[in-house]
Every structure is written in structure tokens, then in C-alpha cells.
Amino acid sequence: MSEEPRNAYERRRRRGEEEQRAREEKFWAGLTVLRVLRDDEFEGLPCLPVDFHVLPHFDGRVEDIAVWLIFATTAESDQVREPAETARYLAHVQVLLRRVHFPEEGVATLGLYPTSLPEIEAAGGKFHYFR
């Protein structure tokens, strides 16, 4: 067992590290999804996302995580909004998550939503768009 630091700076630093670990543990599912998406190049798919927005549950559950694939143009996001294309992208992301042994209940309930940078900007930026 480590002893409590004597100075206030060291106590604050340790408390900050502990809080960061707790946040990462609580949101590990969302962070995992984001890492998997960023590491993949979406080969074989017609439109490549330029960014992602992942919204996990605030209580840390793996179910019903929302993922927005952000494309460069509205035409690309419209193309991916077609039900067959959305299903294709969702299947691709589900395969990626299964490779890293993501819990099946999270894979099965994942929500995938295409959007574009112009749509986000028209809404006033990411803060307003993803509210």
C-alpha cells in the first residue's frame, strides 16, 4: 500500500490520475469502438469516412452505442444512408468489433448513422449537431 503524498501538488496529481483511470474504465466501450474505427481504412467500401463520433452510455453499458460516420460530402453520406449501404457499413464495423472481442450484446445493438461535414457545419458545429 502506498502512503499518502505529503504535498498538495502530488495529492492533486495522483487524484487526477485516479480520476482519469476511472473515466477510461467507465467509457472503455466507447473508446474501444473509436480506436477500432480510427485504425481501419474501410477498404472495399465506396465512401471513406473522414471522422467518427461515438456516443456511449454514460453509465458504461456496452449496449446501444451510437456511431456517426462523418463523410466529406453530403453526396457520400446520402449514398451511405441507403438501407443496403448502411447495412453494409454496419456489418463491416461489427466484424471489426468482433475481431477485438467486443461484447456481443454491444455489437448486436450498435447504431450506425452516416452524416457529413457540411451537415454538421450547417447545424452550427459538432456541439449542436450531436445534441
Whether the predicted model's global pTM rises above the 0.95 cut: no
pLDDT score of 38 = 94
What are the start-end ranges of the E strands in 43-92?
Answer: 51-55, 66-71
Cα–Cα distance for residue pair 45/51, rounded to 1 Å: 15
CATH code, residues 8-129: 3.30.300.30
Pairing of strands 51-55, 111-116: unpaired
Report domain extents, the chain.
Answer: 8-129
User: Is pLDDT larger for residue 119 or for residue 44?
Assistant: 119
Tell me the average pLDDT of the chain: 92
